[in-house]
Structure 1
Amino acid sequence: MIRIVVSAALVAATMHGTAHAAADANEESRAVARSIFKELIEIDTSESGQGSTPAALAIAQRMKDAGFAESDIVVAGPNPRKQNVVVRLRGNGHKKPVLLIGHLDVVEARRSDWTTDPYQFVEKDGYFYGRGTQDMKDGDAIMAATLIRLKKEKFRSDRDIILALTADEEGAGDNGVDWLLKNRRDLIDAEFVLNHDGGGVLLENGKAVQMEVTASEKVYADFQLSTTNPGGHSSLPVPENAIYALSQGLTRLARYEFPFELNNVTRAYYEQIASRATGQRATDLKAMLATPPDQQAIARLSKDSIDHAIVRTTCVATRLEAGHANNALPQKANAVVNCRILPGHSPEEVRQTLIEVLDDSRIKVSYIATGGEIRETAPAAKGFQPPPLREDVIEPLRKVAGKMWPGTPVITSMAAGATDGVYTSAAGLPTYIVGGEAIERDDIRAHGQDERIAVKSFNRAVDFYYEYLREVVNYRK
């Protein structure tokens, strides 16, 4: 009897010690992730800044310091400003690798627009502020810290884990994933891809309502709208000047709604949400899913920016340029219209729609290709179809999310934007967007002013990704 009691006590003490050790390891990993996060935020990787190379070199040094062999760390790219870093954590090679991807570049941010310096890592009021805190230096830091922790623990699995942090996802012309696939596919060839550029937990008033894994995404396309006019002296104004023509066209575009459309992923997404929704939203979701869909329900749901973007192609003017002098009528006016196109439709199809909606022969609609070239027509290729949902991606997500956010459903979704997954998917690498950050529905600030992530959310995401990645690479049916 005494021996049994002692054994039970030893077991309890051992379990307590193991839990304590795990907590310490989590804290250490959070500290590493925060340090990397700060370093990346304070490197201006925008197009007008330093480019991606300093960030890629910083990650390479972190990995070298963590004990990765130099042969498993490669910095490569098309030019000195646009280098990418690829790191390989070796497994036993029984299975093909899993590739983790994230981009190092960020969109432009002006200090005058922000309440903090966008390129300083600022912690205040329970948040980390800085350009890239949501898109997506948080994910870069988390993935890097996870590999460092696994390396320290001498973790081995049946497959290599490859991390590729790359340039120009935001559209400057030297996309790193595209370059690696075309020039160094040997570095990143994998069975499937986990993209950290999205996914995560959606919060409503602090409550987790869903964990998303994104298996489909829209196609990104930019168009230039241009119109010309002879101009003249500003003291003799005429209404039919270049700015007037363009502004009238943009007003018609702003009022235009692309057709409502659901695909297999978005229909499944809303079916899962509808089963848990309440009140008017539940009624509207069910009515939207009916055949035929209820148009009034769609209109009510579309007042939410997320729902609006999921069920239709969207196009919005993002830049305007006109005139050459304060006292002269403008001779030329240009606008950039950014479109996010539903799978199954092509940029050229949308360009033709824009021509119809603008309804003005004076407005020329051209396609802005990667790198900024202006082309008469747009690509005719349609967005890729979603890959099959892999059990070794979904089941570990359900397991870990269920432990960290009990009762929160895992929902397959479509990204309202577009990511580097367009390149990996087109190259035959099934790609899934998975992250662990929890963000309030009304606090999505990617690309916006005072971009931020909650400190608590970031720390939990570090814990999540470590657990999730271990489950993925060790998955057994």
Structure 2
Amino acid sequence: MSDQRTLSTMATSPVRRRAFLGGAAALGVAGLGGAGLFAGTGTAQPASAAAAIPDADQDALDLLQRMLRFDTQNHGQGAKTRKHAEMLREVWERAGVPVEVIDTPQPDNVHLIARIPGTGTAKPLLILGHSDVVPVERENWDVDPFAAEVRDGEIYGRGALDMKGANSATISALLRHLAEGATFDRDIIVLTDCDEEAGSFGSSWLAKNHWDKLDAGAVLTEGGWFLAQDDKTTPMLITATRQDKVYFNLDLTADGTATHSSKPMPDSAVVALSRGVAELGEWQAPVHLTTVTREYFAALADASDDRRFRQAIRLMLKAHSQNALERAAAVMVKRSSYSYLHSALLRTTHAFVIEDAGYKENVIPSSAHVRVNCRAIPGGQKPRDFLAQVRQMMKKRGITVELAVSEGMEEAETLDQLDKTWATPAADVDTDLFEALTASASTTYPDAAFAPALFEAGTSLAPWREKGIPGYGVYPYVIDNEQLVAMHGNNERIYVEALQQGSDFMYGVFKRFLK
């Protein structure tokens, strides 16, 4: 099939790498003045003249700093994104681009849709980027997480990496094209959505209520990592994800005798649960390699400067038994500069995220509970098999393991849904969008390898994937492992120059859709 032929070519003929610090040549110029872009309503009309777009709006760093200064924390029930959306609406209006704010039932929790009219030669391209961010632990940050401070060549802030940085690189690149009077061969829809991190009114709600505004031929969102060599700045591997891991949660509960805390008893629920958590914390699910992950690791081996790391990967890929695979994978992870990422791409992961027990200091509680967030590899171990494995391990400790289900659903129904998601094929690489990502990677990062990949996390792509619309992901800036670990953590940051080069990368992607 064409999918396999394309992947095979990528894996055996990688493009090599060079350092981004010191500069890659920009793919376009910014700040060109001109007449205003046509901003039609109803039937979209293509732009035909350059727009007088301010230089600051075309500057990825300036735009990102403005985004970061809006506190759009999502504590689990959505975020307040209106002010952030209004700022971006003004950016789009200055460029003459039709833009609309979509209110949700939750006050000040809004979506923003900008639509750059094209010639209509092909179905629209949709760019999906969320505006909400996870909460911060302010006391653990070295800087104000909403001040957008630049320190030692890095821009700090909640959302700098995930994913206001990606939004900034994308929007600034499009505005550079519009400033030059570009016309695209299709409409380009830029959706800045809310409730990606949690909440009831995210992309699925929007698709259900406003699909006519979102229908597209392909979608690009967050995902693929641009990894650096051990020196933390030289681009090593540029990836575009074409598949996400399968998200599900388990609830572990231990029971014991509730009594006065002055008389401890041997069946403490807290102790029993702690022992179970300790056992699971030291355990890892089996390694599973799929077509997607094999192609990724093959490209990674070709890209790395670390000889022993390359050898470990190739040994893993040649393993002929599960025992040999496990041993080789362990060596590969140990040698990797991105060990947590690469371990996550090998197996179903389980992370302990919420623990609760007790309600008063002089009462021994009758139960203790922990929520475990899990991510399964499509085509690897099924969620139902992982659940059975964990249940068997915890049974001897008297700990119950339940699959978290939505209200009104049963476990069997939820497992059937997870099986369906697990079996969803990866997005085809034989599309014009994936070809544009490949070509721009070659131009912007000529000495780095490029590969399709699996995203170890999740995205908002479900409404489009359910309709068979191909979706891909990139975080378009080179990062090191410390920056990757800071995602959803403390001192989230990216390199300023990597951000600027990421805008060049996105400029190159959109260049492939010019009329």
User: Is 2:504 the partner of 1:463?
Assistant: yes
User: Is 2:439 the partner of 1:399?
Assistant: yes
What fraction of aligned residue pairs are identical, expressed as a percent? Answer: 28
The answer for the alignment partner of 1:426 in structure 2 is 466
Task: State the Cα distance separating 1:162 from its structure 2 match.
Answer: 0.5
Q: Is the 8 A contact 1:43 1:50 kept in 2?
A: no
Give the secondary-structure state (helix, strand or coil) at the position aligned to 1:47.
coil
Q: Is the 8 A contact 2:158 2:492 kept in 1?
A: yes
Q: Is the 8 A contact 2:440 2:506 kept in 1?
A: no
Q: How does 1:86-235 map to 2 (within 5 A)?
A: 86-170=113-197, 172-205=198-231, 206-235=233-262
Q: Is the 8 A contact 2:236 2:449 kept in 1?
A: yes
Counterpart among 409, 414, 420 of residue 449 in structure 2: 409
The answer for the alignment partner of 1:450 in structure 2 is 491
Q: Is the 8 A contact 2:259 2:363 kept in 1?
A: yes
The answer for the alignment partner of 2:16 in structure 1 is none
Task: State the Cα distance separating 1:291 from its structure 2 match.
Answer: 4.2
Task: State the Cα distance separating 1:179 from its structure 2 match.
Answer: 1.5
The answer for the alignment partner of 1:59 in structure 2 is 88
Deviates most, 122-131 or 21-30: 21-30
Deviates most, 373-382 or 279-288: 373-382
Q: Is the 8 A contact 1:222 1:338 kept in 2?
A: yes
Counterpart among 380, 386, 393 of residue 416 in structure 2: 380
CA distance in 1, matches of 2:466, 2:373: 22
Task: State the Cα distance separating 1:20 from its structure 2 match.
Answer: 12
Q: For the structure 1 residues 268 and 112, does the alpha-carbon distance in structure 2 shift closer, same or farther, using more than 3 Å as the test?
A: same
Q: Is the 8 A contact 1:346 1:379 kept in 2?
A: no
The answer for the alignment partner of 1:8 in structure 2 is none
Q: Is the 8 A contact 1:177 1:424 kept in 2?
A: no
The answer for the alignment partner of 2:285 in structure 1 is 258
Letter in 1 for 2:291: N
TM-score calculated relative to the size of structure 1:
0.87
The answer for the alignment partner of 2:3 in structure 1 is none
Q: Is the 8 A contact 1:265 1:412 kept in 2?
A: yes
Query: Which structure exhibits the higher relative contact order, with contacts defined as CA atoms closer than 8 Å and separated by 6 or more residues?
Result: 2
Deviates most, 289-298 or 380-389: 289-298
Give the secondary-structure state (helix, strand or coil) at the position aligned to 2:29.
helix
The answer for the alignment partner of 2:333 in structure 1 is 302
The answer for the alignment partner of 1:321 in structure 2 is 356
5+ long unaligned stretches in structure 2: 1-25, 33-52
Give the secondary-structure state (helix, strand or coil) at the position aligned to 1:196.
strand
Q: Is the 8 A contact 1:98 1:193 kept in 2?
A: yes
Task: State the Cα distance separating 1:22 from its structure 2 match.
Answer: 2.1
Q: How does 1:28-67 map to 2 (within 5 A)?
A: 28=55, 32-48=59-75, 50-67=79-96
Q: Is the 8 A contact 1:193 1:432 kept in 2?
A: yes
Task: State the Cα distance separating 1:462 from its structure 2 match.
Answer: 1.6
CA distance in 2, matches of 1:177, 1:208: 32
Deviation per CA, 1:306-340: give whole Å up to 9, x if none: 22111111001112111212232122322111111
Task: State the Cα distance separating 1:266 from its structure 2 match.
Answer: 0.5
Deviation per CA, 1:272-320: give whole Å up to 9, x if none: 2233445222221121111415232111123321221111110011121
Give the secondary-structure state (helix, strand or coil) at the position aligned to 2:208.
helix
Q: For the structure 1 residues 185 and 153, does the alpha-carbon distance in structure 2 shift closer, same or farther, using more than 3 Å as the test?
A: same
The answer for the alignment partner of 2:265 in structure 1 is 238
5+ long unaligned stretches in structure 1: 1-18
Deviates most, 342-351 or 155-164: 342-351
Counterpart among 354, 379, 393 of residue 357 in structure 1: 393
Q: Is the 8 A contact 1:29 1:145 kept in 2?
A: no
**What CA RMSD, in Å, does the superposition of the two structures yield over aligned residues?**
2.7
Q: Is the 8 A contact 2:149 2:157 kept in 1?
A: yes
Letter in 1 for 2:202: G
CA distance in 1, matches of 2:141, 2:408: 31
Give the secondary-structure state (helix, strand or coil) at the position aligned to 1:432.
strand
CA distance in 2, matches of 1:202, 1:374: 44
CA distance in 2, matches of 1:373, 1:36: 43
Q: Is the 8 A contact 1:200 1:212 kept in 2?
A: yes
The answer for the alignment partner of 2:347 in structure 1 is 312
Deviation per CA, 1:338-375: give whole Å up to 9, x if none: 111111355444333332232257433334457x9996
Letter in 1 for 2:83: P
Give the secondary-structure state (helix, strand or coil) at the position aligned to 1:436.
strand
Q: For the structure 1 residues 33 and 173, does the alpha-carbon distance in structure 2 shift closer, same or farther, using more than 3 Å as the test?
A: same
List structure 1 segments (4+ residues) > 6 angstroms apart after TM superposition: 372-375
Letter in 2 for 1:150: H
Give the secondary-structure state (helix, strand or coil) at the position aligned to 1:424.
helix
Q: For the structure 1 residues 367 and 208, does the alpha-carbon distance in structure 2 shift closer, same or farther, using more than 3 Å as the test?
A: same
Q: For the structure 1 residues 28 and 196, does the alpha-carbon distance in structure 2 shift closer, same or farther, using more than 3 Å as the test?
A: farther
Q: For the structure 1 residues 406 and 318, does the alpha-carbon distance in structure 2 shift closer, same or farther, using more than 3 Å as the test?
A: same
Q: Is the 8 A contact 2:79 2:194 kept in 1?
A: no
Deviation per CA, 1:409-429: give whole Å up to 9, x if none: 111111111111334222321
CA distance in 2, matches of 1:223, 1:105: 25
Counterpart among 284, 296, 300 of residue 312 in structure 2: 284
CA distance in 2, matches of 1:201, 1:413: 12
Letter in 2 for 1:64: E
